[in-house]
Amino acid sequence: MKYTRALLLVFLVFLVSCSKEKSSENIIFGTVDLNHANRTLLEIAMEDGFPPPIASRVYVYPHIAHYITLQSFYPDSLPDISSKLNGLDALPVLDKANVNAELASLLSYCKTGRKVVFSEHYMTELAEEFITKAKEEKLSDHIIEASIAYSEKISAHLSQWIDQDNYIQTRTFDRFTSTKKPYNWRETPPDYIEALEPYWNQIRPLVIDSASIYKAKALPEYDTSKDSEFYKMVYEVYEESNRADSLKVSTAWFWDDNPNTTIHKGHLIAVIHKISPPGHWLNIIHQITEKEKSSVFTTSRAYTFTAIAMFDSIISCWHEKFKTDLVRPVTYIQEYIDPT
């Protein structure tokens, strides 16, 4: 009888311990949650209709916020990047008591995401999802509150830095006007949309020294004669487009660099939103980390480093694009190769 009572007492203690609130050190959030946050951000970028350059900015800052927050708790698992990002001051020393690192990192992601998108309510809802999960997993209110406060301090620090990347200033610059010269870029049908982000090379890069750091190979001199190197170069594009098989077509659609496509039927115009080119890479990371069951450290590092690479590469690419100011292949083909 005494033995039975002892077992019953142990069992009751076990039940009570199971119902207790979890400590800040419990691993509740991981790769699944970060992948969910990333996918939500991709969807918001499509909803808001951001073109590739702006989309790269929308992607990179939330991932940097997540990484830096997580790294501040796990310096042995993630290398420091804050000291390597152009213009970012050292993070202030923050009180980590009672903070759940993974929750704080996700909330930093959401808070920073709100700053760079139009549809802020989606990021607010995402943060509420994570807080709800924390409560369901028995994280105490004081741990949740400490995690929220920590994330807000990180986000506030990053917010000042983000404001200095020259994005706001470039919104006020003059529109780019085509010269209408045959060898320069011109608006193309059916929408004749103006040049996209002509001043993007003035956005502050994250790790490269300047937008002009990479020098592109010189192109052949503009020429319309059929025996010229320029004509042959464009004709190769024309030939390739005519012999594309189903695999090449599907590959081209996957890497389509126009996330906001218009379809014209008479006077009706429909707009289709798709994931932008930098978003493709982040989506691939989602697929790989999910398949490999990667740790949250590996996943955060992959997202952040890739987003940084895409952000800087687009700045450099746009610098060369507008420096070259060259006629588009489709324009040249319609005028000198195949008018149909």
Q: Output the pTM of the full model.
A: 0.89
Which residue reads 């309510």 in tokens? 121
Q: What is the mean pLDDT of the chain?
A: 90
- At 332 the pLDDT is 98
Question: What pLDDT score does 256 carry?
Answer: 77
CA distances from 310 to 60, 69, 125, 241, 282 (A): 8, 21, 27, 27, 10
The pLDDT of residue 23 is 44
Amino acid code (one letter) for 173: F
Which 3 state secondary structure label does DSSP give 276?
Answer: coil
pLDDT for residue 7 is more than 80: no
- Residue 266's pLDDT band (cuts 50, 70, 90): low
Is 189 in contact with 225 (CB distance < 8 Å)? no
Residue linked to tokens 């379809």? 263
How would residue 255 be classed by pLDDT, with cut points 50, 70 and 90?
confident
**What would the pLDDT profile of 179-209 be if each residue is shown by its tens digit?**
999 999 999 888 788 999 999 999 999 999 9
What is the per-residue pLDDT for 30?
98
Judge whether residue 335 has pLDDT over 50.
yes
Q: What value does the mean pLDDT take over residues 218-238?
A: 97
267 has a pLDDT exceeding 80: no
- Rounded average pLDDT over 131-158: 98
Residue 216 per-residue DSSP state: P
Query: Within a 10 A sphere around the Cβ of 18, how many other Cβ atoms?
Result: 8
CATH topology for 26-81+89-340 is Vanadium-containing Chloroperoxidase; domain 2 (1.10.606)
Instruction: Give CA–CA dist 103/109, Å, rounded.
Output: 10
126-165 in b/e form (b: 16+ CB < 10 A) is bbebbbeebeeeebbeebbebbbebbebbbebbbebbeeb
Return the closest-CA partner of residue 200 out of 328, 323, 80: 323
247: tokens are 């695999």
pLDDT per position as a tens digit, 202-211:
999 999 999 9
**What is the spatial distance between Cα 188 and Cα 195, in angstroms, rounded to a whole number?**
10
Band of pLDDT at residue 8, cut at 50, 70 and 90: very low
pLDDT tens for 66-124 read 999 999 999 999 999 999 999 999 999 999 999 999 999 999 999 999 999 999 999 99
Q: What tokens appear for 108 in the block?
A: 């930093």
The residues spanned by each domain of the chain are 26-81+89-340
